[in-house]
Amino acid sequence: MASNRLIFAGLGLAILVTAIAAVYAKHESRKLFGELQVELSERDELYVEWGQLQIEHSTWSAHARVERLAREQMGLIDPSPESTRLFASE
């Protein structure tokens, strides 16, 4: 009879420990899922910013813009045909 009580007590303790472990695992799972959602949101924001930076980069490095700035700010001009020399390579 005492061994049956010991077995039931051990099984009851095992069930209690398992239940607490299941609750803890579920809690951790929900906490990590929340963190994942925050990280995914940040990733999406960074993708949008990256796209905007790529557009800005292409705007700043456009050939027409660079040529216009060279003419306006540095006074560069196209060379005249008289000032152009061609050299033959051997």
- Predicted confidence at residue 80, as pLDDT, reads 87
pLDDT tens-digit series, residues 66-87: 888 888 999 888 888 888 888 8
Alpha-carbon Rg for the chain, nearest whole angstrom, is 37
- Rounded to whole angstroms, the Cα distance separating 39 from 71 reads 47
- Predicted confidence at residue 2, as pLDDT, reads 80
Q: What are the 10-residue block averages of pLDDT along the chain, 90 residues in total? A: 89 97 98 98 98 91 86 88 84
- Predicted confidence at residue 47, as pLDDT, reads 97
- Predicted confidence at residue 41, as pLDDT, reads 98
- Rounded to whole angstroms, the Cα distance separating 2 from 6 reads 6
**Who contacts 71 (Cβ-Cβ below 8 Å, separation ≥6)?**
77
- Rounded to whole angstroms, the Cα distance separating 10 from 17 reads 10
